[in-house]
Structure 1
Amino acid sequence: MGTDEEGMRRMYCSNCGVKAGGNFCFQCGYRLQHEGVVAFEDLVPAVLSWEDDADYERIAKHPEVRTVIASHAAQARPGLSAEALMEIADKVVPIGISYSAVAAVAQPMWASLGVRTGKQRSAVMTVPIGRAIARVLCSLAKNQQAVQRVEQEADGCTIQAELPSSIWAMKGVLTVKLMRQDNGCVITVATDIPGQAFDWGMSQRCLDTLLLEVQEDLGLPPAEPRSQAA
C-alpha cells in the first residue's frame, strides 16, 4: 500500500480529469484535494451569490464555473514554445551544442545577476469580485497559463500562474491580483521573465489579452442567489 504522499502524487483533477499534483490543477486551476477530505465551507450554509464571493477556492469549485473553465482549457491550442524553436534550430543550424542546453544554463545564470523583464498594469472592473475571479480563471485556462499558487485575502486574492515560453521569450510568471472595491474590483496584472532583458512585446501582448478577455463573460453563468442560512 502506498503512502499518503504517494496518493497525493497520483491524484486526478475532479474537474477536468487530468492527472495532477500539488495544490492546483495545472490545466484548469481547480484546487486539488486528497480523496475523502471535505472542505469546511462545504458544511456551512452559503449566504452569498457566487459572484459576490471573494474566495478563490469557492469560485473555482462552483460547478457551473468550473465547467466553463474546463471548456476553455479543452479548446486551448499551444503556440510554438521557445524550447520547440530551439529544437528546430538544433536541426537546421547545428553548432555542435544544443541551443536548448545553452538556454537552460543561460537563463538562470542571467537571472541570478538580476537580469529580468516584465510589465505591470491595473484597471478597475465594474463587476463583482467573484465574477472577476472566474473570468480570470477562464482567461488563464484559455491561454494555457497554469495556476501555480494562490494567496487568499479577505477581499480578494492574488493568483500566480505560469507564463509559457514562446518564440519571443523564455518561461516566466504571470501574477493577477484582484481586490474588492465598492461595487466592483481592482485588477492588477504583471509579468516577470527572469534571465531575459527584452521580451519583444510578449509581456504587453499578454497583459492586453488578459485585460481584454476579463471584460467579457466568457460563457460564465448568470449569478444565482445562494440559499439563506437558517
Structure 2
Amino acid sequence: MSTSAAPAWAEEYRLDQLLAEPAVRAVIAAAGVPVVDAVPSAAQFLADFQDLPFIGSAIGRGADRGHRLGLRWGLRAGAERTAEFDEPVGRVLVAALCSLARHRLALRQVTQHTNGCSLEAAIPSDWRTFGGTLTVTALLGATGTAVRVEAEFGGQLYDWGAGKKTVAAFLADLPGLLTAQP
C-alpha cells in the first residue's frame, strides 16, 4: 500500500461510483497514454498476401471460413492467472482501468458483484488471433484484493502465445499503476 493516506474512493467497489470521482478520472486520463504500437489486424495481415499468384485470395477466404467454423464448433484458446494485492479494491479497479487504457483495450461490459466487479474488454485482432476478450475480476478478499485475469480467443484452437502475453502484460502493469495513484 502507498505511504500516504488512502483516498476516500479507495474502498469503493462500484464502478459507477468510482468513475464519478474527478480524481479517479484524472488518474485514468493520465495513464491512458498507449504503451503499445498499433499492430496490423488479422485481416490486414492476410491482405498482404492477396497478390500472390494462385493462393493469395484463397488464404484470406480460408482463414475467414476456418474462424467461423471454429466459432461454430466452440473452439477456444487463451490463458488465465490470479493474483493477490494488498490494496483496497477501488485502487485495484482504477489500476485495471488504467492498464486497459494503456493497452488500447476497449471496455465492453461491466458486471457488478457484491464485493467488487468484472471488466470485460475487447482484445483487438492481430497476426496471431482474430481478436478476443480480456476479463478482469477484482474482488475484495480477507487480506486485500483478489484479481483474476482471463484472455479468451473464440474460434481458435491455438492463440500462439497471445493469451499468456496479454495476461502477463496486464498483471505486470498493476503494481506500477497502483504506486502511481494518489
- Taking structure 1 as the reference length, the TM-score comes to 0.69
Which has the larger share of strand? 2
Tell me if 1:208 matches 2:168: yes
RMSD of aligned C-alpha atoms? 2.2
Ranges in structure 2 where 5+ consecutive residues have no aligned partner: 1-6
Deviation at 1:88, TM superposition (A): 1.4
Given the alignment, which residue of 86, 90, 103 partners 1:126? 86
> Secondary structure of the residue that 1:175 maps to in structure 2?
strand
> Secondary structure of the residue that 2:147 maps to in structure 1?
strand
Which has the larger share of helix? 2
Which is worse superposed, 184-193 or 76-85?
76-85
Q: Is the 8 A contact 2:51 2:57 kept in 1?
A: no
Measured in 2, the distance between the counterparts of 1:149 and 1:93 equals 43
Offset from partner CA, 1:52-103 (integer Å, 9 cap, x none): 1011122233223223323443435322222221121224566353644443
2:29 aligns to what? 70
Aligned length: 175
Tell me if 1:58 matches 2:17: yes
1:90 aligns to what? 50
> Secondary structure of the residue that 2:50 maps to in structure 1?
helix
Tell me if 1:171 matches 2:171: no
Measured in 1, the distance between the counterparts of 2:22 and 2:51 equals 47
Of all paired residues, the percent bearing the same amino acid is 27
Deviation at 1:170, TM superposition (A): 1.5
Which is worse superposed, 86-95 or 186-195?
86-95
Q: 1:218 to 1:85 in 2, by over 3 A?
A: farther
Q: 1:83 to 1:69 in 2, by over 3 A?
A: farther
2:153 aligns to what? 193
2:73 aligns to what? 113
Measured in 2, the distance between the counterparts of 1:59 and 1:91 equals 50
